[in-house]
Amino acid sequence: MHLQITGKQIDIGDALKVHVEDRLDEAVGKYFSRPTETAVTFNREGPGFRCDLQIHLPSGMTGHAHANAQDIYLSFDDALTRLEKQLRRYKRRLKDHHKAREGSIPSISAASYVISAPSEDEEASESEPETLDPVIVAETTTDIREFTVGEAVMQLELSSSAAMMFRNSAHGGLNMVYRRSDGNIGWVDPDGRTKRGA
């Protein structure tokens, strides 16, 4: 397992690193035998600590978890408990579907943009804006992976994202899954080429 442990504005001691390595090896080893990439980040948050965990599985799936606690060790342990729950759910679904992807998930690269939100002055203004062109703050590249709808829902549940675009493996078209305000997950299939239950 490739492991990266960092601290933002705090010093990470050797004892904490050993604790993190041992607990992660034990937790991840229960569910996956192949190597994974894991990033653990600690930072101060108010009077306590925050631990963020991110794990990249060999199948291409990604899991995220975070926790806050007064003690840095407790923040890690709480985040790891949440991550273990996600891994357990993911592993159970893989067994239920009787197929684990071998190798990485195919993907395509796409441009990703961050657009500036209107300022309060612009929102309060009654006049029409001079132009409707958005102001691009950042431009990056993102990977759009190929999933079944069920795998995309599983990936969304493992992540902390509000929405995820993916290439539907049933027909190759672009689809999106997103978290709805009622707690359910929505699915957008622009061409409607996939039959229900895919």
| 77-91, 94-108, 110-124, 166-180: the lowest-pLDDT one | 94-108
Output the pLDDT for position 98.
Answer: 45
* Residues 6, 93 within the same domain: yes
* Residues 112, 161 within the same domain: yes
Parent domain of 86:
2-97
Output the pLDDT for position 15.
Answer: 94
Last residue of a domain, one of 66, 97, 128: 97
197 falls within a domain: no
Q: Specify burial of residue 175 (Cβ count, 10 A radius: 0-12, 13-18, 19+).
A: buried
Sign of CA dihedral 117, 176, 107, 28: positive
Helix (H) or strand (E) holding 7: strand 2-8
* Residues 125, 175 within the same domain: yes
Output the pLDDT for position 198.
Answer: 45
Question: Tens digit of pLDDT for each residue in 59-105?
Answer: 677 888 999 999 999 999 999 999 988 888 877 776 655 454 555 56
> For the chain, how many structural domains are there in total?
2
Which residues does residue 107 pair with via DSSP β-bridges, in sequence order? 145
* Residues 12, 93 within the same domain: yes
* Residues 9, 92 within the same domain: yes
195 falls within a domain: no
Question: Tens digit of pLDDT for each residue in 136-165?
Answer: 888 888 888 898 898 888 888 777 788 999
Residues 189-196, mean pLDDT to the nearest whole number:
70
Question: Tens digit of pLDDT for each residue in 15-28?
Answer: 999 999 999 988 88
Q: What is the DSSP letter of 11?
A: P
Q: Specify the pTM.
A: 0.56
Q: What number of other Cβ atoms are within 10 A of residue 81's Cβ? A: 12
Residues 177-195, mean pLDDT to the nearest whole number:
84
80 falls within a domain: yes
